[in-house]
Amino acid sequence: MPSDDLCPVTPPTEVVTAEPLRYGRVGERSLDRGAQMRELAGRVGLPPARLAVAWMLAGRARWPVIPVLGARSVAQLEDTLVALDGPLGADDLAALDQAFAIALGFPHDFLDSDDVRDLIHGDLATLLDR
């Protein structure tokens, strides 16, 4: 186990705007997402960790994801595994999907634009599934 001298912990009040987590500082975007998760968890009536696991399990049909649990005690593990008991509602899943959507950016957005699709596929562009 490393000593505290080798692994200093930065207080959560230190905020930078850079993403992702670097040099022990938390970015503004990460703090915003954490606040959104706590708000959604409060609305659903679940702890944030349990909500996150339930969301990942509900998304298995859409994403190839296996949640990894980081419990420090048997009690934490048992509390988190309660997420297996029932699915979230469609509204809750939609809110989580929207709050944590990943911007695909370039080249996806470029190639998905109508002008580029028309340039690449010509008249066949309207026949392709999006």
Residues 12-41 pLDDT 10s: 555 545 455 555 667 788 888 889 999 999
Which residue type occupies 96?
A: L
pLDDT reading at 3 higher than 50 = no
Residue 14: per-residue pLDDT: 52
Which residue type occupies 82?
A: V
In a domain, 37, yes or no: no
Q: Which domain holds residue 121?
A: 105-130
In a domain, 6, yes or no: no
In a domain, 124, yes or no: yes
Q: Give ∠ CA 103-107-108 in degrees, rounded to 5.
A: 55
In a domain, 40, yes or no: no
Angular region, 72: left φ>0, alpha ψ -120 to 50, beta rest? alpha
Torsion of CA 97, 101, 107, 112, to 10 degrees: 40
In a domain, 81, yes or no: no
Over the stretch 35-50, which tens digit does the pLDDT of each residue have?
Answer: 999 999 998 888 888 8
Nearest to 113 by CA among 125, 102, 123: 125
The total number of structural domains in the chain stands at: 1
In a domain, 129, yes or no: yes
In a domain, 120, yes or no: yes
In a domain, 48, yes or no: no
Model-level pTM? 0.59
